[in-house]
């Protein structure tokens, strides 16, 4: 099928058309022509025409909890892909914390089969340890050949330094990627929110920023040890998921200045809220890592601006009513966020340009996962996100099976029109 995108402003730092307003013809999933006043073949072309439409390479989410298999009452691959497409994502990387855990070729094969025909591409992240229990390593080479794009225990940070060290060594021969959410679990037991004045006032046990920062320091030292006196790889070897503190950003900044093969991301909701938002005990705001101080939020924005933080993720973690509609201290951590990432960031933007946002949403995530890069150029595969950064809209309903989002009913600036991916146009409007 043929598509004609009319008068779209191209946002792609890699493209010679960056910043220009052009027509784009896509045929059989390939960008055939870019120009002005292009003619469409009548009867065979779908014309996509939106006011102030912008187009960029398709966005990639590095951290999505799909819950499938095992927890389909919270989310399944169909609903998560629909939510991702509505949020402008053409690709999602899904965590291994399912039932069964993605620690074998059988479970990984199930994900790949179920992902066929979905509007977005699903990239499985396989477990580092069996059952994500932090004890015995999985067969990572086999999982890599079966299609795993990276390795992580997902919601369970790696606590054993010897296992992390051996994993870094094990991944070297095939240029594998380790993703880890930094948290020293012994410092966060029974914690509910950021440790500080607010947690004291609310009478809740705190999750200290120190727990995150100590693990980053440890992991960086181990990474340095593995690559001591060795040629450093050109690709990222260790990726830190969902940074939340100013000190964490500074540690990554220093590591990059030293040339270590490290990258990191931040969840979109961490760029909006600080710990004062929990005064009302809204369990939809209970996340891990927790919302920290306003100074930490400002440091996260600075880290995005100067390139220390490589990507923005949704950290989409759906839960049903039985897990969230509870007293704050027994409710599960996590919010849904696939549909609101772009709108949240644009609405609260602290000086990032559109090119920088596209870099954090589309370009750097692909580089980190070793996915083929896509660019808006003739002859390239059409993996495109269409959006209007200036349009106001209200988030009135979600395509996710779960409703644990603090953003329902809110009005945002920054609207996603749809995605053009795998030869099809998907729009929720």
* Strands 424-426 and 411-421, sheet pairing: antiparallel
Two tokens, residue 185:
């679990």
Q: Helix, strand, or coil here: 368?
A: helix
Compute the distance between CA of residue 235 and CA of residue 177 in angstroms, rounded to an integer. Answer: 9
Two tokens, residue 391:
């349009």
How many other C-beta atoms are found inside a 10 Å radius of the C-beta of residue 92?
Answer: 29
Residue 165 contacts residue 222 (beta carbons within 8 Å): yes
| Angle separating helix axes 294-305 and 246-257, nearest 10 degrees | 30
Strand partners, 421: 424
How many other C-beta atoms are found inside a 10 Å radius of the C-beta of residue 10?
Answer: 22
Compute the distance between CA of residue 250 and CA of residue 300 in angstroms, rounded to an integer. Answer: 10
Burial class for 195, CB neighbours closer than 10 Å (0-12, 13-18, 19+): buried
Instruction: Kindly name the residue from 12, 315, 359, 388 that is annotated as catalytic.
Output: 315
Instruction: Name the strand (E) or helix (H) holding 163.
Output: helix 161-171
Residue 290 contacts residue 242 (beta carbons within 8 Å): no
DSSP 116: T
Site of tokens 């998560």: 80
**Residue 315 a catalytic site member:** yes
Residue 176 contacts residue 128 (beta carbons within 8 Å): no
Contact residues for 118 (Cβ-Cβ < 8 A; gap 6+): 77, 78, 81
Residue 334 contacts residue 242 (beta carbons within 8 Å): no
Closest alpha carbon to 85 in 122, 52, 30:
122
Two tokens, residue 418:
């749809």
Concatenated DSSP letters for 265-324? EEEGGGGT--GGGGGG--GGG--SSPP--HHHHHHHHHHHHTTSS-EEE--B----HHHH
Q: Catalytic amino acids? A: 315
């Amino acid at each position: 099928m043929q598509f004609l995108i009319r008068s779209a402003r191209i946002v792609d730092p890699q493209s010679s058309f960056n910043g220009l307003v052009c027509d784009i013809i896509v045929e059989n999933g390939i960008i055939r022509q870019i120009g002005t006043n292009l003619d469409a073949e009548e009867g065979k072309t779908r014309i996509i025409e939106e006011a102030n439409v912008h187009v960029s390479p398709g966005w990639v989410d590095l951290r999505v909890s799909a819950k499938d298999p095992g927890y389909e009452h919270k989310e399944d691959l169909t609903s998560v892909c629909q939510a991702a497409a509505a949020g402008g994502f053409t690709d999602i990387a899904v965590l291994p914390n399912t039932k069964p855990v993605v620690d074998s070729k059988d479970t990984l094969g199930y994900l790949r089969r179920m992902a066929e025909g979905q509007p977005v591409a699903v990239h499985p992240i396989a477990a580092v340890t069996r059952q994500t229990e932090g004890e015995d390593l999985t067969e990572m080479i086999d999982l890599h050949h079966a299609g795993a794009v990276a390795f992580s225990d997902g919601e369970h940070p790696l606590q054993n330094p010897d296992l992390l060290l051996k994993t870094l060594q094990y991944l070297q021969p095939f240029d594998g990627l380790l993703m880890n959410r930094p948290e020293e679990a012994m410092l966060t037991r029974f914690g509910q929110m950021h440790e500080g004045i607010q947690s004291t006032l609310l009478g809740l046990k705190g999750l200290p920023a120190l727990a995150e920062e100590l693990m980053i320091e440890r992991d960086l030292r181990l990474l340095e040890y593995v690559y001591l006196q060795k040629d450093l790889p050109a690709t990222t070897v260790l990726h830190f998921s969902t940074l939340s503190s100013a000190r964490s950003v500074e540690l990554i900044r220093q590591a990059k200045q030293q040339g270590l093969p490290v990258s990191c991301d931040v969840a979109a909701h961490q760029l909006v809220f600080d710990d004062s938002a929990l005064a009302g005990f809204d369990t939809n705001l209970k996340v891990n890592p927790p919302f920290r101080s306003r100074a930490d939020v400002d440091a996260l924005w600075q880290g995005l601006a100067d390139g220390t933080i490589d990507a923005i993720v949704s950290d989409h973690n759906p839960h049903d009513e039985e897990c969230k509609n509870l007293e704050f201290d027994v409710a599960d951590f996590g919010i849904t966020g696939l549909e609101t990432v772009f709108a949240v960031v644009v609405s609260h933007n602290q000086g990032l340009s559109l090119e920088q946002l596209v870099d954090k949403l589309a370009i750097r995530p692909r580089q980190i996962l070793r996915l083929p890069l896509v660019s808006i150029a003739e002859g390239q595969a059409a993996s495109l996100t269409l959006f209007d950064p200036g349009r106001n809209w209200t988030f009135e309903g979600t395509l996710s099976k779960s409703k644990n989002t603090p953003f329902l009913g809110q009005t945002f600036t920054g609207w996603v029109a749809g995605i053009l991916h795998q030869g099809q146009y998907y729009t929720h409007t």
